[in-house]
Amino acid sequence: MSAVDLKGLLAGAGDEHERWARTINPQFVRVLRTIGFDRTWASADGAYLYDTDGNRYLDMLGGFGMYNVGRNNPRIRAALIEALELETPGSVQLGVTALPGLLAEALLARAPSRLERVLFTSTGTEAIEAALKLGRAATKRTRVLSVDHGFHGLTLGALSANGNPEFTARFGPLLPGFDRVPFGDLDALEQELRSEDVALFLVEPIQGKGVHLPPAGYLEGAQALCRKYGTLFCVDEVQTGFGRTGTMFAFEHWGLEPDLVPVAKSLSGGYVPVGALMMSRAVHSAVYDSMENAVSHGSTFAPNELAMAAGLATLHELDERNLVAQSARLGERLLELTRPLVEEFDVVREVRGLGLMWAIEFGEPEKSGRLSWRMIEKMQPGLFAQLVAAPLFAKHKILSQVAGHRMAVLKALPPLVLSDEDVDYFVDALSATIKQAQRMPTSLTRFALTAAGIR
Ligand SMILES: Cc1ncc(COP(=O)(O)O)c(C=O)c1O
């Protein structure tokens, strides 16, 4: 019996959109209302969300990639309940407990041998902050290099490495010593590294904003250049980790051996905030080099025992249900079924992805529909993708997202537990929606006009 009657509170909660707008963020609620995403959510299970009218929605967004093992996964929940019932000691702070070491061991067992230590955090952006700080201290260098359009979180350090002006513009001055190079450009990277003052090169193996895959040889070349010039190679697996791309970590596709690997999101099955920085022994021992420096970096809640229990259960679940292989297989199916859309629709420019990290990019049609496209683009660049996401949600009950600011790219990061039938349903709905959006009936144009006035 809980001290707070949650069930009663929820039953009598009334209009959550009104309360959210009043107490948390009215602009966000305006956006939801404008694009028609203001449903009242009742429950969730695996790859599905349910609203209070009993409608089932296919979740192709996966909580921005935190539900790889599915929403409300019963085995992760059981591990959490067990941890609570065991009344484990919690954070002793001046003392250690078993669960964090067990999860660190389990993580390292799945990573290349170069990675030997784990620093736990509570979020992905904190794992990035740890990489920035430890990278600087370990190399005794100050510069940090990242790439254009890179995304690593929104705290000030991570933001300083962000390559998207829409996130950085109003929050300057950012930290000194941060520079960016174009993603995929090894010459530009070498030019920056040559001065031998760059502590770390921070890169997503597949860029989350827009879902951009690296050109052949790029990540391997970047790693070699980092080694040559004494720069740490930091591969941000916050979004791509834990089976998302069809391997446990995306860096496995290119046989990489990074020095620093931040992870987060799906590590706790979506239940408890968690993050971790996996790193080489060399980095760790250079920073934690004496008893005096034994607590150089950390935070009160990291590692917390519930996150650790959920993490152990999540790794177990990925293994037991073969979800990494399932991600590879279903991702291949999704690509196979959606690639023909490029031929079928003038407005579809490209379909790309790896595992269950997938995107479709739209572009100005060469034949009919050109004028409508231009009108829509004039209202707001990239708006066409919203013209697809909105009816996918309203008509086909599929939750998806536009892949970034002013981008005509629709993205999917579904829970890895979705079925073959779910993939087929998504593809059929997508195809029907593009067909309609391309014809741009009046209702959609009206929607576009309203949506353009969101901000
Ligand atoms: C690649 C990448 N790095 C870092 C982050 C930040 O993680 P968090 O939102 O847990 O702070 C994200 C979040 O989307 C991400 O996609």
Place of tokens 């993205």: 411
Quote the radius of gyration of the chain (alpha carbons, Å).
23
Distances (CA, A) of 216 to 222, 239, 307: 11, 21, 36
Distance CA 269, CA 79 (A): 11
Fold of 74-320: Aspartate Aminotransferase; domain 2 (3.40.640)
Neighbouring CB atoms inside 10 A of 12's CB total: 8
Strand partners, 357: 354
Q: Where are the alpha helices (DSSP H) in 212-280?
A: 218-229
Find all residues with CB under 8 Å of 131, minimum gap 6, and list them.
Answer: 200, 202, 234, 260, 262, 277, 279
Written as six digits, the tokens of 226 are 């980092």
Distance CA 358, CA 432 (A): 18
Distance 96 CA to ligand 1 centre (A): 28
Q: Where are the beta strands (DSSP E) in 166-239?
A: 178-181, 198-203, 232-235
Cα of 220 vs its chain's centroid, Å:
22
Locate the ligand 1 atom nearest the alpha carbon of residue 153 and give its number.
6
pLDDT along the chain (455 residues), means of 10: 85 94 97 93 98 97 97 98 95 95 98 97 98 98 98 98 95 97 98 98 98 98 98 98 98 98 98 98 97 95 96 98 98 98 96 98 89 86 91 97 93 98 98 86 56 47
For residues 430, 433, 434 and 437, what is the CA-based torsion angle, rounded to 10 degrees? -160
Distance 158 CA to ligand 1 centre (A): 9
Distance 126 CA to ligand 1 centre (A): 9
Written as six digits, the tokens of 137 are 């201290």
Q: Give yes or no for a contact between 412 and 359, defined as CB atoms under 8 angstroms apart.
A: yes
Peptide bond into 215 cis (omega under 30): no
CATH 3.90.1150.10 in the chain: give the residue spans. Answer: 20-54+323-452
Written as six digits, the tokens of 209 are 């904003």
Is 3.30.70.260 the CATH classification of the domain at 20-54+323-452?
no
Find all residues with CB under 8 Å of 198, minimum gap 6, and list them.
Answer: 141, 143, 144, 145, 192, 229, 231
CATH 3.40.640.10 in the chain: give the residue spans. Answer: 74-320
Q: Whose CA is nearest to atom 2 of ligand 1?
A: 152
Cα of 206 vs its chain's centroid, Å:
10
Distance CA 187, CA 428 (A): 42
Written as six digits, the tokens of 60 are 């192709």
User: How are beta strands 348-354 and 357-362 bridged, if at all?
Assistant: antiparallel
Written as six digits, the tokens of 128 are 């990035």
Mutate to test the pocket of ligand 1, among 67, 132, 151 (most ligand atoms within 8 A of CB): 151
pLDDT at position 51: 97
Neighbouring CB atoms inside 10 A of 97's CB total: 15
Classify 190 as helix, strand or coil.
Answer: helix
Distances (CA, A) of 345 to 8, 374, 393: 50, 17, 21
pTM over 0.75: yes
Q: Which residues line ligand 1 (CB under 6 A)?
A: 64, 123-125, 128, 151-153, 204, 208, 236, 238-239, 264
pLDDT at position 438: 79
Distance CA 418, CA 414 (A): 7
